[in-house]
Amino acid sequence: MKTYVNMVRRSTLILFVTIILICASALNAVTIKIASIVPAKSPWANALDEIGREWKKITNGQVDIRVYPGGIAGSEEDTIRKIRMGALGGAMLSNFGMQKILKDVYVLNIPFMIHSDDELNYVLERLQPHLEKQIEALGFKVVIWSSSGWVKFFSKDPLVYPEDLKKHKLSFATGEPELEQSFKKAGFHIVPIELKDLMMGLQSGMVNAFYLPPLIAASGQYFGITSNMCPLDVAPIIGGIVISERVWKQIPVQFHAEMTAVTQKLSKRLLKEAIELEQEAIDTMVENGLKINALPPDAPARWAQSIAEGTDELIGEAFSRDIYDRVVSLLTEYRNKSK
């Protein structure tokens, strides 16, 4: 009888301890609500889902990511404000959103400064620690850096030299006053317009050229009206996934290294996928009437020189002189090594 009682007591104790552990695990679980303006099933949304699965596995279920895609949580400025308030845990942001957290991120988007994906990777890899340290000081943790390709000029009439674009009315995203002034100083006719209103602007003749990545030009069908594309890569579009530093600190430290390693690996894959997707978008547009304007040998230098006339408007306004000098130094270093 005594043995039976002891067995019951041990079983009860084991059950009690198990319940405590389960409850403790549930109490320690971190749910991260992440907003995004990109649609579900896109490569970037898929990457976010993959991060959620990997983090859940690494932390034995202690981290759960809930995604709010397609802008249902509001604009990027809205989501950043909600993260600061604690209503959201993080966001997938474009270059526009990232610069709303830290202005210096915008240095990566200077027109015609970075010339290739190889240069971009070289600069970004060496600039990341500096940028991330500053972003963390502002209350955010960069989970992953991402690219959505390169911005290109699309227009109604052929674009060979910058003088050709100066004859057009160039649609420009609202909310970028420094870059807008830079283009104006360089002699371009700028018409600020929201992306959601671009098609109407093209149809009405309010604008007849725009400045967007091929992926967006293809998905929005804007190239049907502006059927010419200058082949030059104007600027890379660099965004990322960020979470609140407060939320990051809620996750047990022993998981941080493995979680970071997973996202770094995924970041490199995303950059590669962005290149492939951009080419697919261009090929699809060409099949449907887009004309890629052939450029003479002197065209790239003339484009770069023309845009550079307004770059001084950006330094000290859109980003700091220090970060600009760092990028110039890194590009010089890379180009000297590549000779």
Averaged confidence pLDDT in the chain: 86
Q: Rounded CA gap, 210 and 168, in Å? A: 9
The pLDDT tens digits for 264-319 are 888 878 777 878 888 999 999 999 999 999 999 999 999 999 888 888 888 888 89
The pLDDT tens digits for 145-197 are 888 789 999 999 999 999 999 999 999 877 677 888 888 888 999 998 887 88
Q: Which of 22-36, 94-108, 111-125 has the lowest mean pLDDT?
A: 22-36
Question: What CA dihedral angle connects 84, 86, 92 and 98, to 10 degrees?
Answer: 10
The pLDDT tens digits for 103-153 are 999 899 889 999 998 999 899 999 999 999 999 999 999 988 888 789 999
Q: Rounded CA gap, 3 and 63, in Å? A: 42
Instruction: Tell me the pTM.
Output: 0.82
User: Domains, the chain, ranges and CATH?
Assistant: 2-337 (3.40.190.170)
